[in-house]
Chains A and B, each alone.
Chain A
């Protein structure tokens, strides 16, 4: 031990330095988020749970084209498509739609693949449950998610430049032809 080190230890210089840093942080804005009392504000591009969307008039956007299923790298989507004949109008739609959210890697490819912007990513991330089966999102559940988090999903699509904001959206829309039954 040299004399210099001995002097430092007697004069408590180390503690002074440490305390200096400690008291400095007492005046800095806190970074820890007190989850679940406090929550983070997420950006619009956040990739959370998936939801299925409807048009403003309540018609399901999904046409059951299977492209999301083909795009999915983790094979967590399964679409069963069929035909609906409501009011004499023939159109294709998904009769069943499953997303196994435990397998989902939140890459957002399915949203990008969707030709009608029926899928949107919401800011929902709190879906933990004691029952694992609930994590297989089926069609009603996905539409529920889409309905509750419609704004977020829409914001995601707008942020990814896939859809225009609301006021423009009604003019900018491509709907697949539905056929009147002959």
Chain B
């Protein structure tokens, strides 16, 4: 990272300079700073404002050196080297000058070290001690009130030494530019531009680089001394980036979360291009309070006489085992199904699927990957014989062209998005962002492509057509697969450029430009995300993307690759470990590997094809499922109402729910087993690059909760299997079945993305022509209002139909983060985002309320009393977002208010339920001042919101918001 690294890229072109530093000769490349040259001799110059992650700033004046021939002291970080320079770093004059510089800060520093959170990990303290600054002239107190207006970060400007690191990391690495110097009453302060309250992405990197205690976190303020805490390095549990985090605990409490950015030596750390800077995002850094949430379950619950009561573990496990065995003996394994979350470790998923398949003889298992990521894996397995990303984060940073299709990557995977930002800013990569909504990444990109809603397919076909007609395709691909290329050539020509450009809403020039860039790239990367895998037509779009990558040679060129993005942290691992019905561990197709695995496991495996999540629910509705084992899954809250999940669950005799929290699904379960969070368990996660990251235990399990692994191994023993005592015992077993999965150093061929190769023989062998014909000659038109909405029973003709898109927020991940007090403090509002054009049309302004109803009146069999929260219409406050296209409203999927309105389409090939986008009817709610109502009813009004009176729905919404706040 940093501008410094530009030197590394074109190293060959640069001259080598020879210098003499403190009587030692050093040779460095042209363009390096004197600081780097000094660093090469092994001397670390002290510097307050220097950081490896961004370019030198030169504000502190401590890294002074003496250069022969120059009169004044030189700031080494900003001075460039010249040939034959003679540098002296340790002369008396220099040491005195450094002392003076430190003294200058000490005079205005409040010296309130005992009450400062940085006490013990403060660079000013260290420098004062190292340089021996003992007598300070009479101090002057800079009186500034502490800025506590932002929800997380407190700015104590009395302690600030104006080094500017926070501003630089925000601007250069995060590229948010939220912080700046500003003047107030003649004092220079740091904060949001012009001193307004700070509202940014709250990645907290400014907090990590602050050398003193000027920026502090409200969530861990005053509770610790840095040296008193136990530090455990583990892996974050939120998104699929798999960032390494350090949990800092005292006793049984997590006090704060830090990362490598806080602990790496900021002067000496040598960064090679493509290395991560070690920072975190808001979720990872501030979302740790769910671990100690008082809502955590502490003892197992069993439903006895219609009520859930606490029972001890030694009764719960045998009871569950007995009932599962009874059901298996009475109805066979086909009556048992299991769902596992994408947040469980690899070892747990392995043990779960082994238990389900061998001991309960059921192949009806599924994981959270079914919500989208399985689409990518199945399509890549089908076409390439390789179910994982073919590139790595490092390669993404060094790409020259990056195309992102349907992924709001800055919100879903904030740390991965930094790689793309870095690639663009530092290495001049061209970034093409294809999306229907103007995302943050699109605003930063070089080639933004705004397609009309759900027409990525038309755009991709346009790109493929442009590549073929302009003869930009990879010659090696044409050479190896001439027949396949011919087929593609024939089929893509069937639609004219005009049609494609009209359908996608992108001009043909733009399509051609994008096609040319990607086809002629040296190290191109193709990234796709939730906008492809969990939207209608995901399977076909994925195959189009794969065809595109083959045509551009992304799978053949070194440094190029394709990179699917998944949502939860271990979705990739869940599929790798056989947590879906299609695959056995190691992504072996079930039918293929059944014989082999039944020999290895010494138990017969069921011969039924198994069932995926939608099939399990369908079967349950038919009454064929008698027992359902849910591990961290919560289908009642994650699936829309129209899938009739509640009805299905009522027909199941035995529901076992294993979760750290009592979810809505858990509340109707027969047994609820308290599991632990990631902080209390050992294991590994596999991130979206396919790299295995270790999870280490920071706390003992809270209450009587147990790690999922322990629960599975207890059940395993009760059901008659062999006993596993620890996670380490299971790793050799996985290793023998999935070669290379846990190899030493965790960088084997399986986990090292760059060593993966694709096998194309099956893809083009049979039926490719027919498929390509289907895929490219007739374009499925995107769903229009006529298809889904506009039905005869639309309640009110005045309602207008709009496309509702459910998306992810940067502050939340799945439903887990809504259990976290800290993240809910940052963002707790179920607010509907409306485009500017629609707001004008409906005469809406920020804070108005909108009534959202179903666009499609699907027949629903549901008694009114079963769904107390949701009437068919929901009223929500709105926020105007200029980046949304006309006719689209956006809602965060983490809040459950609107998902029940969504229609569901199930993918015919991969069984992925698509419900992230659909049509709803919206209507403005007449405005009343809620304060009047509040004074009558005694309810407090939420600040800044006005809501209609005398209506049931808003009252519920307000209540739910109050619950969240409390």
Chain A interfacial positions (CB closer than 8 Å to B):
63-67, 69-70, 80-83, 90-92, 115-116, 176-177, 179-182
Interface residues of B in 319-365 (CB under 8 A from A): none
28 CB contacts below 8 A, A to B, read A63-B114, A63-B115, A64-B115, A64-B222, A65-B119, A70-B225, A70-B227, A70-B228, A80-B223, A81-B223, A82-B222, A83-B221, A83-B222, A90-B148, A92-B115, A92-B222, A115-B114, A116-B114, A176-B112, A176-B115, A177-B112, A177-B158, A180-B145, A181-B145, A181-B146, A181-B148, A182-B145, A182-B146
**Do A66 and B148 touch across chains, with their CB atoms under 8 A apart?**
no
Q: Chain B residues with Cβ under 8 A from A179's Cβ? A: 145-146, 156, 158
Which residue in A83, A177, A180 is a CB contact (below 8 Å) of B141? Answer: A177
Question: In the complex, A115 Cα to B145 Cα: how many Å?
Answer: 23
Q: 7 closest pairs, A vs B, by CB? A: A65-B114, A179-B146, A182-B145, A115-B114, A92-B115, A81-B222, A63-B115
Q: Chain B residues with Cβ under 8 A from A90's Cβ? A: 146, 148
Q: Is B149 an interface residue (CB 8 A)?
A: yes
**Do B228 and A176 touch across chains, with their CB atoms under 8 A apart?**
no
Chain B interfacial positions (CB closer than 8 Å to A):
110, 112-115, 119, 141, 145-149, 156, 158, 221-225, 227-228
Q: Chain A residues with Cβ under 8 A from B225's Cβ? A: 66, 70
Question: In the complex, A115 Cα to B141 Cα: how many Å?
Answer: 18
**Do B148 and A182 touch across chains, with their CB atoms under 8 A apart?**
yes
Question: In the complex, A70 Cα to B148 Cα: how many Å?
Answer: 29
Q: Chain B residues with Cβ under 8 A from A180's Cβ? A: 145
Give, as a whole number of angstroms, the nearest-CB distance from A180 to chain B: 5
Question: In the complex, A64 Cα to B119 Cα: how many Å?
Answer: 13
Q: Chain A residues with Cβ under 8 A from B147's Cβ? A: 182
Give, as a whole number of angstroms, the nearest-CB distance from B842 to chain A: 38
Nearest residue in A to B144 (C-beta to C-beta)? A179
Question: In the complex, A65 Cα to B156 Cα: how many Å?
Answer: 17
Nearest residue in A to B114 (C-beta to C-beta)? A65
Give, as a whole number of angstroms, the nearest-CB distance from A78 to chain B: 10
Give, as a whole number of angstroms, the nearest-CB distance from B573 to chain A: 39
Q: Chain B residues with Cβ under 8 A from A91's Cβ? A: 115
**Do B115 and A182 touch across chains, with their CB atoms under 8 A apart?**
no
**Do B222 and A177 touch across chains, with their CB atoms under 8 A apart?**
no
Q: Chain A residues with Cβ under 8 A from B156's Cβ? A: 179
Question: In the complex, A71 Cα to B584 Cα: how many Å?
Answer: 57
- Of listed A69, A83, A176, A177, residue having the most chain B CB within 10 A: A177
Question: In the complex, A180 Cα to B157 Cα: how many Å?
Answer: 13
Q: Chain A residues with Cβ under 8 A from B146's Cβ? A: 90, 179, 181-182
Question: In the complex, A181 Cα to B149 Cα: how many Å?
Answer: 9
Q: Chain B residues with Cβ under 8 A from A67's Cβ? A: 114
Q: Chain B residues with Cβ under 8 A from A83's Cβ? A: 221-222
Q: Chain B residues with Cβ under 8 A from A81's Cβ? A: 222-223
Known: A66-B225, A81-B223. 14 other contacts (CB 8 A): A69-B228, A70-B227, A70-B228, A82-B222, A92-B115, A116-B114, A176-B114, A177-B110, A179-B146, A181-B145, A181-B146, A181-B148, A182-B146, A182-B148
Q: Chain A residues with Cβ under 8 A from B149's Cβ? A: 182
Nearest residue in B to A66 (C-beta to C-beta)? B225
Nearest residue in B to A180 (C-beta to C-beta)? B145
Q: Chain A residues with Cβ under 8 A from B114's Cβ? A: 63, 65, 67, 115-116, 176
Question: In the complex, A92 Cα to B116 Cα: how many Å?
Answer: 9
**Do A65 and B115 touch across chains, with their CB atoms under 8 A apart?**
yes
Question: In the complex, A70 Cα to B226 Cα: how many Å?
Answer: 11
Give, as a whole number of angstroms, the nearest-CB distance from B113 to chain A: 8
Nearest residue in A to B149 (C-beta to C-beta)? A182
Give, as a whole number of angstroms, the nearest-CB distance from A131 to chain B: 26
Give, as a whole number of angstroms, the nearest-CB distance from A87 to chain B: 14
Question: In the complex, A96 Cα to B141 Cα: how many Å?
Answer: 30
**Do A66 and B110 touch across chains, with their CB atoms under 8 A apart?**
no
Give, as a whole number of angstroms, the nearest-CB distance from A36 to chain B: 40
Nearest residue in B to A175 (C-beta to C-beta)? B112
Q: Chain A residues with Cβ under 8 A from B113's Cβ? A: 115
Question: In the complex, A171 Cα to B20 Cα: how many Å?
Answer: 55
**Do A66 and B228 touch across chains, with their CB atoms under 8 A apart?**
yes
Question: In the complex, A81 Cα to B223 Cα: how many Å?
Answer: 6
Q: Chain B residues with Cβ under 8 A from A176's Cβ? A: 112, 114-115
Give, as a whole number of angstroms, the nearest-CB distance from B722 to chain A: 44
- Of listed B112, B147, B227, B228, residue having the most chain A CB within 10 A: B112
- Of listed A69, A80, A81, A116, residue having the most chain B CB within 10 A: A81
Q: Chain B residues with Cβ under 8 A from A66's Cβ? A: 224-225, 228
Question: In the complex, A177 Cα to B221 Cα: how many Å?
Answer: 16
Question: In the complex, A66 Cα to B225 Cα: how many Å?
Answer: 7
- Of listed B114, B145, B147, B158, residue having the most chain A CB within 10 A: B114
Question: In the complex, A73 Cα to B599 Cα: how many Å?
Answer: 60
Q: Chain A residues with Cβ under 8 A from B148's Cβ? A: 90, 181-182
Q: Chain A residues with Cβ under 8 A from B222's Cβ? A: 64, 81-83, 92
Q: Chain A residues with Cβ under 8 A from B119's Cβ? A: 65
Q: Chain B residues with Cβ under 8 A from A64's Cβ? A: 115, 222
Question: In the complex, A125 Cα to B119 Cα: how many Å?
Answer: 35
Nearest residue in B to A78 (C-beta to C-beta)? B251
Question: In the complex, A83 Cα to B146 Cα: how many Å?
Answer: 13
Give, as a whole number of angstroms, the nearest-CB distance from B289 to chain A: 16
Give, as a whole number of angstroms, the nearest-CB distance from A88 to chain B: 10
Question: In the complex, A81 Cα to B147 Cα: how many Å?
Answer: 20
Nearest residue in B to A90 (C-beta to C-beta)? B146
Give, as a whole number of angstroms, the nearest-CB distance from B383 to chain A: 57
Give, as a whole number of angstroms, the nearest-CB distance from A83 to chain B: 6
Give, as a whole number of angstroms, the nearest-CB distance from B115 to chain A: 4
Give, as a whole number of angstroms, the nearest-CB distance from B450 to chain A: 41
Question: In the complex, A110 Cα to B141 Cα: how many Å?
Answer: 28
- Of listed A65, A69, A70, A82, residue having the most chain B CB within 10 A: A65
Question: In the complex, A81 Cα to B148 Cα: how many Å?
Answer: 18
Question: In the complex, A177 Cα to B225 Cα: how many Å?
Answer: 19
Question: In the complex, A26 Cα to B141 Cα: how many Å?
Answer: 68
Q: Chain A residues with Cβ under 8 A from B145's Cβ? A: 179-182
Nearest residue in A to B221 (C-beta to C-beta)? A83
Question: In the complex, A67 Cα to B114 Cα: how many Å?
Answer: 7
Nearest residue in B to A174 (C-beta to C-beta)? B111
Give, as a whole number of angstroms, the nearest-CB distance from A40 to chain B: 36
Nearest residue in A to B224 (C-beta to C-beta)? A66
Q: Chain A residues with Cβ under 8 A from B141's Cβ? A: 177
Q: Chain A residues with Cβ under 8 A from B115's Cβ? A: 63-65, 91-92, 176
Give, as a whole number of angstroms, the nearest-CB distance from B416 to chain A: 36
Question: In the complex, A65 Cα to B213 Cα: how many Å?
Answer: 14
Question: In the complex, A65 Cα to B115 Cα: how many Å?
Answer: 5
Question: In the complex, A92 Cα to B222 Cα: how many Å?
Answer: 7
Give, as a whole number of angstroms, the nearest-CB distance from B187 to chain A: 13
Give, as a whole number of angstroms, the nearest-CB distance from A46 to chain B: 26
Q: Chain A residues with Cβ under 8 A from B228's Cβ? A: 66, 69-70
Q: Chain B residues with Cβ under 8 A from A65's Cβ? A: 114-115, 119
Nearest residue in A to B147 (C-beta to C-beta)? A182
Question: In the complex, A5 Cα to B110 Cα: how many Å?
Answer: 85
Question: In the complex, A64 Cα to B112 Cα: how many Å?
Answer: 12
Give, as a whole number of angstroms, the nearest-CB distance from A123 to chain B: 27
Q: Chain B residues with Cβ under 8 A from A63's Cβ? A: 114-115
Q: Chain B residues with Cβ under 8 A from A181's Cβ? A: 145-146, 148
Question: In the complex, A69 Cα to B119 Cα: how many Å?
Answer: 14
Q: Chain A residues with Cβ under 8 A from B227's Cβ? A: 70
Nearest residue in B to A85 (C-beta to C-beta)? B148
Nearest residue in B to A95 (C-beta to C-beta)? B222
Question: In the complex, A59 Cα to B158 Cα: how many Å?
Answer: 23
Give, as a whole number of angstroms, the nearest-CB distance from B218 to chain A: 9
